[in-house]
Structure 1
Amino acid sequence: MTDQRNAEDSSGRVDGASARRNQRPRYGMLSNTAFMMAQAWRGRKSALAICLGTALSAATISILNLFVAPTVLTTIEEHASLTSLFAVIGLFVAGLMLANAVSAYCDTNKLFSYVEVRTSLLRLINEKDARTSYPNTLDAAFNEAESKATDSCSNNQAPTEAIWTTYSTLLADVIAFAAYLMVLSGLNGWLIALVVATTIVSYVVGLRLNGWGYRHRDEEERYVNRLYYLYRTATSRDYAKDIRVFGLRRWLDDLWNGTMRLYRGFLARREGMYLWANVVDVALTLMRNGVAYAYLLWIALSQGMSASRFLLYFTAVTGFTTWVAGILEQCSTLHRQSLDLSTLREFLAWPEPFAFDGGEPLPCDTAKTYEIRFEHVSFRYRPDGPEVLHDINLTIHPGEKVAIVGLNGAGKTTLVKLASGFLDPTEGRVLLNGFDIRRYDRRDYYALFSAVFQEYSVLDVTVAQNVAQRIDGVDIERVRWCLDKAGLTQDVAALPKGLDTPLGRAVYEDGVELSGGQTQRLMLARALYKGAPILLLDEPTAALDPIAEDDIYRKYAAMTDGRTSLFISHRLASTRFCDRILLMKDGRIVEEGTHESLLASGGGYAKLFDVQRKYYRSGGDSGQTDMDHGTAAMEKEGAGDDVSRG
């Protein structure tokens, strides 16, 4: 349907949210470090202790190794006693053993702590994804940000876990660097200045080159999303029959290989930039080492110094250049990881167009009546796209049963989404009992509705749990009543475990898969179980034959007395029981009235009904076939309207 196409088209829109993706990251390394520390403090505090313990033990080992040989050599040069020599060696050995023990303990236990922090971030991502405003789910930029945020938490090498290793390594390098710098402070100051200068140059160059991946992350995400979509399509049972019947394997392979070639080209460009960053770093490191070694040799030959002092300086210079290179490498790594963290935090901070916890509470009172009113409502899925609804003025009175009919693309589903609060109007207002629904906590507003939409979800749990939409506290008698009203009692009784039969085979090996018609009846039972004061049915019986559909609607006519109800249907005869029927065309309500009054007026509704009625034959499979032909003919009749709108 055009409504669905509009929704799908909106996934490619470029609006203010997606424009933000091309801006510089909102969060720097210090901000992201504070974020990770706070996340660990709230979740697994041991991650902080292990990170600090790993850094201190590694720095201690390096510093002890720096001083052990020169100190022992100094003791020998001073002709100290054998006891003193053994005491010095023993102290260093004890210190190294203790530091290595701490390092081994941290290394053994870091995985559990770091993983828990990473999974806590995954929970935040999942919560954001599950609780976000519905329009965000239609935004390509939001979905891309969600994909990138999930990638940053996907495995043990992902930035949200690997960053702890970067923190500990960088801290160890900085501590060791400071210690070695103190040792070398007795040398000429220009040597230290050279090290600082080359460090700054290397960091700036590395920062620029290593940031290439982040600046081109949108391109990477396009390739990754295409590959994931192709993988999901090629391996899903939903497409298995089509792939085999229409011979789509070669086509899917070509699409996969073409996308993979583009992705490999992108990766080659990205790694080439990273390689140049490493080349610059290596060149500067070689220059530092060469100058430092030449200076030490000159001092040793021209000014003379003890063997222990020369060994200390020589070891310090060697280690010092290593720490400089290590700090540069870890800073570059931390910068790349921080860019991924920035993307994650941008996703978590993605603005919500709807009011949730900050909105006005709206208690759900099943004894209360509710009126929904549209005031000059217009809507478009994209800021630059066509209007799907045009200046709608409509009042749905308390307890009224309203049917919405029309050709594909008339705007029926969009109208229901606006009424149920999944979308907000581009212009105008949707009012609940006279108040704009945007003032309320949107989750409280959702609680007012029971709904069956065209796209529904069946969870891999039992029949009873699917109806009740909960694991515990299921009212079995109410479940039975709802299934009976939906016409599923006999079907469920025939299942191996009755109400306790698991549905789907993704979790349970003995799971049962219902037919399309049975699934739609199950969804109707689920809507009944909730018992909300407003009922929405968006083509809920599309998989049923006309006779079964008529039976379901007659049951709903009796069951929904006193409840506000909105129905969408292509089969006009199924809406006879409604108090009012709205005929929509091109995003406008062009006719409204009862079934009889609309037929009597001889307008568009009567014309469409005649198109369907002449194909209709009551009873049996032939009735289904003829009715479907009638529906197809009705849609063909309006095909020109769809084309002109597209």
Structure 2
Amino acid sequence: MNNKEKPKYNTLQNVWWMLQVAWKAGKRAIFFCIISAALEVAYNLAQLYIAPRVLLRIEQRASIGTLLSTIGLFTVAIFILRGLMHYFTQNSLFPRVDVRSAIISKVTFKSNMTSYSNTLKEDFQKLRDKAYQATNDNEQATEEIWQTLTELLTNIGGLIIYLSILSKIDPVILLVIIVTCLAGFVVSRYTNNWRYEHRDEEEKYYLKKSYIRRKAESVELAKDIRIFGLQNWLNDLLDKVHDAYLAYAFRCEKAEVFAEVVEAVLTLARNGIAYFYLIKMTLNEGLSVSEFVLYFAAVTTFTTWVMGVLKDLSKLHKHGMDISRLREYLDYPEPFKFEDGEKIPEYEEFELQLSGVSFRYPGASEDTIHDVSLTIRPGEKLAIVGLNGAGKTTLVKLLCGLLDPTEGCVLLNGRDIRDFNRREYYRLFSAVFQEFSIVDVTVAEEIAQTKENIDYEKIKKCIDLAGLTSNIEKLPKGLETHIGREVYLDGVLFSGGETQRLMLARALYKDGPILLLDEPTAALDPIAENDMYMKYGEMSEGKTSLFISHRLASTRFCDRIIFVADGGIKEEGTHESLMNLGGEYAQLFEVQSRYYQEGKEF
């Protein structure tokens, strides 16, 4: 999103949205905001009137007792108000964090549940980054807005009350105050707009610094950093980004210093004119000492109220723009049907079909998959093979509904999958993808993908099929051992092969009717790989299975093989028929066989 583009939601809409979120999150943030503002106004009024009231009692030649009671009354009131203000200030953080936490949950849900195809789009990725930044810490818009709203209510309340107090003096004073405050606001607004228009530059430095720090602190990269001596290189990268950010910050500082100088000059002129009129009224119109002190303090505070309202409106506008981009992320359209999709009928068996399917990634100049038609029969064991980059994984993502075709359609038992609830469709698949990640939970929780109602007997069967039983038995707490060391210091780090077999066990535990294995042996040693091939029949029993690999020798046990190249199906048949055909599959198989026999990887 370009910063010069008009935000989708205006400031009032964003404030209303935040109020709705706060109301659902417990309402405390709203109540604290209103009560804190009322206390602040009352406190300022007590401070404003204490000196004039004491002087008035002196002018009235009141008794010492009356004078002391006046001072005592105001002192107690100020003390109580100060204590209440301190209480609400100290305790306002938690309600605000509750609201931000509720929004973080919305952002996390959107990130996890959005259509997979959205994650590939550049504008979605940018909005996602901005949404994370808007909820990143206590100083971001989703939390700062409550302080701004509190200050705005305070300033508006004070402005109204003080305006009634100053209504008895020359309106020229009020006019001067308001005009000079507006002039200062215009300069301040210009500075804020300049910074907002250059926000992408600031965000670029933020993202670069965060990325470098994540990599430098990554447990997975710890070995590479030490073996290849990357410490200085990473430090130099971080220093360069930091220096570039400092240069940007210096430009921001110059603009802000200019705004502060202009505001100081305007303040001097404003106060000078106001005080001149008050002194003139005292000398010419018989203004009493107590009235002079009251109006003198009121003029100064009224100026603060006016400037406060203008600055708070500016800050609210800035917060609104950040929240607008956050909401644009949450409202980003979903190309897939979820709750609004049809329920998948209770089929006894499943047939998948690609009908004239083409797919082009966002921003690409040509199709990755072009005009592919394929039918996968119920219970069939299909192998999809080809060299790296041939389009195998994209084909699989289309079949399992992670992507929708650019042209053509994917059918489930003759029905276009775009009609179905996509999450229900996902439940049909037990998958192991090339790229995978694990969460720092126990082994059992990782396999079952839940903390509750774990079927341990089923887990044991799955890890046995995945060839992981002996590895798990050696762990200090068996299935209750934590994986990873970012959260739990006593966690274990699995090797690449162990992690891949763990992902296989997870897929088997899900027990979907369609088993999808995308390069499942890439990280396995030859013995473990052969063991998996031997158990593949048991793993896929009663299921439709898709086996994707660039190693042609790994697919001989499948019912049918399709050879993918240049985004299309070039050859199709059994291993024997394809070898007899003598085409690209046979040639590549011979080359790979020769390399494997020589102990090399192709």
- Answer whether TM exceeds 0.5 for this pair: yes
- The residue number in structure 2 matching 1:347 is 329
Matched-pair contact (CA < 8 Å) for 2:514–2:543: yes
Aligned: 1:286 with 2:268: yes
Deviation at residue 118 of structure 1 after TM alignment: 1.9
Question: Which region of structure 1 is more displaced relative to structure 2, 584-593 or 459-468?
Answer: 459-468
Equivalent AA in structure 2 for residue 473 of structure 1: N
After the TM superposition, which residues 9-408 of structure 1 pair with which residues of structure 2 at under 5 Å, given as runs? 19=1, 23-82=5-64, 84-362=66-344, 365=346, 368-408=348-388
* 1:342-391: CA deviation from partner (whole Å, max 9, x where unpaired): 2322222222222222222336x5x7211221122111112443211111
Contact 1:207 1:335 in 2 (8 A): no
Specify the SS of the correspondent of 2:104: helix
> Cα deviations across residues 43-100 of structure 1 (Å, max 9, x unaligned)?
1322222211111111111112222222232233234455544454444334323322
List per-residue Cα deviations over 1:8-40 (Å, max 9, x = no partner).
xxxxxxxxxxx5665222233222221222222
163-172 vs 195-204, which moves further = 195-204
SS of residue in 1 equivalent to 2:300: helix
TM-score normalized with structure 1 length: 0.88
Stretch of structure 1 that moved more, 81-90 or 569-578: 81-90
Instruction: Report what 1:510 is aligned to.
Output: 490
The one-letter code matched in structure 2 to 1:107 is T
Q: Deviations over 1:462-488 (max 9, x none)?
A: 222222121121111111111122222
412, 422, 425: which one aligns with 1:432: 412
8 Å contact from structure 2 (residues 134, 141) kept in 1? yes
**Cα displacement (A) at 1:322:** 2.3
Partners of 2:419 and 2:250 in 1: how far apart? 51
Further displaced range: 371-380 or 457-466:
457-466
Q: Measure the CA separation in 2 of the matches of 1:84 and 1:244.
A: 79
- 8 Å CA contact 1:210–1:277 kept in 2: the answer is no
Q: Which moved more, 1:333-342 or 1:222-231?
A: 333-342
Q: Whole-Å Cα distance in 2 between the matches of residues 420 and 200 of structure 1?
A: 59
Measured at CA, do residues 103 and 547 of structure 1 come closer, stay the same or move farther in structure 2, by a change above 3 Å?
A: closer
CA contact (8 A) 1:281 1:325 kept: no
Residue in 2 that maps onto 1:475: 455
Other structure's SS at 2:6 match: coil
Residue pairs, 1:487-526, within 5 angstroms? 487-526=467-506
Most deviating of 424-433 and 328-337: 328-337
Provide the residue aligned with 1:422 in structure 2.
Answer: 402
Q: Secondary structure at the match of 2:547?
A: strand
Are 2:467 and 2:528, in contact at CA under 8 Å, matched by a contact in 1? no
* Rounded Cα–Cα distance in structure 1 between residues aligned with 2:358 and 2:261: 58
**Alpha carbons of structure 1 residues 281 and 590: separation in structure 2 relative to 1, 3 Å:** same
Q: Provide the secondary structure at the position in 1 that maps to 2:374.
A: strand
- Residue of structure 2 equivalent to 1:549: 529
Greater mean alpha carbon deviation, residues 347-356 or residues 83-92 = 83-92
CA 1:66/1:356 → structure 2, altered by over 3 Å: closer, same or farther? same
Q: Deviations over 1:205-234 (max 9, x none)?
A: 322321223222222222222222222222
* Uncovered stretches (5+) of structure 1, i.e. residues with no partner: 1-18, 632-646
Structure 1 pair 344/610, CA: closer, same or farther in 2 (3 Å)? same
Counterpart pick for 2:572 among 589, 592, 597? 592
Residue type of the partner of 1:193? L
SS of 2:375's partner is strand
* C-alpha distance 336-576 of structure 1, shift in aligned 2 (>3 A): same
CA–CA separation in structure 2 for the residues paired with 1:31 and 1:82: 56
Match of 1:601, as an amino acid?
A: L
Q: Distance in 2 between matches of 1:324 and 1:22?
A: 28
- 1:547 Cα offset (Å): 4.4
Provide the C-alpha distance between the structure 2 equivalents of 1:283 and 1:129, rounded to a whole number of angstroms: 49
Report the counterpart of residue 446 of structure 1 in structure 2.
426
Distance 1:254 1:456 in 2: 31
Query: Are residue 582 (structure 1) and residue 562 (structure 2) matched?
Result: yes
Question: Is the partner of 1:616 in helix, strand or coil?
Answer: helix
Q: Which amino acid aligns with 1:171?
A: L
Q: Aligned Cα RMSD in Å?
A: 2.2
Cα 1:220/1:491, change in 2 over 3 Å:
same
- Report the count of equivalent residues: 602
Give the 3-state SS of the residue equivalent to 1:242 in structure 2.
helix
Give the C-alpha shift of residue 421 in structure 1: 1.1
Could you tell me how far apart the structure 2 residues matched to 1:511 and 1:96 are? 56
Task: Give the partner amino acid of 2:503.
Answer: M
The alignment partner of 2:221 has SS state of: helix
Q: Equivalents in 2 of 1:478, 1:293: separation in Å?
A: 84
The alpha carbon displacement at 1:403 in A equals: 0.8
Q: Tell me, yes or no, if structure 1 residue 533 matches structure 2 residue 532.
A: no
Return the alpha-carbon distance in structure 2 between the equivalents of residues 357 and 278 of structure 1. Answer: 53
Check whether the contact 1:380–1:387 (CA below 8 A) recurs between aligned residues.
yes
Structure 2: 5+ residue stretches without partners: none
Distance 1:476 1:313 in 2: 79
Alignment identity in percent? 50
Corresponding residue number in structure 1 for 2:541: 561
